[in-house]
Amino acid sequence: MKILCAGDLHARERAPRNRVDNFYMTMIGKLHWILATARKVAADVVVFPGDVFDSFRASDSLKRVLILHFMGTDVFCVAGQHDQRRHTQDLSNTPLGVLEASGVVRILNQRPEVLSRCAFYGASWGEEVPRIEHGDYFNVLAIHRMIIKGRQLWPGQEGYIAAKNLLRRTGFDLIVSGDNHQFFQEELYGRRLVNCGSVMRQSIDQWDHEPAVVVVDTGGDGSVEAIPIPIVPSERVFDLARSSEEKAKSEDLERYVDALADVSEHEDLNFVRFLTSYMVANGVEGPVQEVIREAMR
């Protein structure tokens, strides 16, 4: 059996900040490429590890587009926190739940979906890792949880799992993980974890991100092939100047907050007292002062 592992799609219609291309059409193009590649390599199943949608408020139009694209392909997935309605596990009133009801995706859970002696399990956002029921099958886990390879993504990061630890603890032959938007693979004891990252470059922090899918052949020679998703240079999709301006404003705000934190306790930061002093010093008329005081009350 061939399994095509994809990343977090984050399907949305509005462009993220600092994207200057037609983000929606680019996203649909990437989805079309993924499914066409699955057909080209004769993949039996496509696995999306959560955050298929960017929000549970996705429009009917967007749901319709994904339904039309997924038709005719065996698509397995789990729910990420963006797929869930306020991080609850009831998907009945969500876009992903609509896709499942339409029959174009299967949301994996604790009970395995078995195809050709391959057992597929799922752990959506907030769910525990299931136990393997068929030890003699090729067991696959799709999971949406922050999994990292090597060092922390930022100083003081919490709530993550090291890829090797997950492989060591669970015994799955293949783990397809989502939530971490970086691409990486990890291998231990002949078992593999694939984290394709995000399909789209969502923010300017992903300037160097090169999205890809991974095709795993569970039979034959057990080949694993990473196939890059075609992209255009980052300078053509991101507004670097606007991002630099926003970064400068953010740094100014941080300096202002730091300055406030450094003000000693005896310094007068009482707003009401300051405003009263201002009105007196600047000759604000009495009736206007009364209106202001009433508003403050």
Comparing 12-16, 75-79, 140-144, 225-229, the range with the smallest average pLDDT is: 12-16
Average pLDDT of the chain to the nearest whole number: 90
pLDDT at res. 242: 52
**Do the beta carbons of residue 179 and residue 8 sit within 8 Å?**
yes
| Average of per-residue pLDDT across 18-27 | 92
Residue entry with tokens 């399909």:
199
Residue 94 is predicted with a pLDDT of 97
Lookup result for tokens 């007292």:
273
pLDDT on residue 259: 58
76 pLDDT higher than 80: yes
Residues 242-247, mean pLDDT to the nearest whole number: 49
Strand 113-115 relative to strand 118-123, pairing:
antiparallel
Task: Tokens 């008329």: give the residue.
Answer: 285
Regarding beta strands 106-107 and 75-77, do their DSSP bridges make them parallel or antiparallel, or are they unpaired?
parallel
- What pLDDT, on a 0 to 100 scale, did the predictor assign at position 244? 47
Q: Please check whether residue 231 is in contact with residue 206, taking contact to mean a CB–CB distance below 8 angstroms.
A: no
Residue 201, pLDDT above cutoff 90: yes
Map out the domains of the chain with their CATH numbers: 2-236 (3.60.21.10), 240-296 (no CATH)
> Residue 228: beta bridge partners?
212
Is 258 a residue whose pLDDT tops 70? no
pLDDT at 36: 98
Is 50 exceeded by the pLDDT of residue 78? yes
Asked if pLDDT for residue 144 goes beyond 80, the answer is: yes
Task: Read off the pLDDT band of 243 (50, 70, 90).
Answer: very low
Percent of the chain clearing pLDDT 90 (strictly above): 69
Token pair, residue 79, equals 């729910």
Q: What is the average per-residue pLDDT within 287-292?
A: 82
Identify the residue with better confidence: 254 or 160. 160
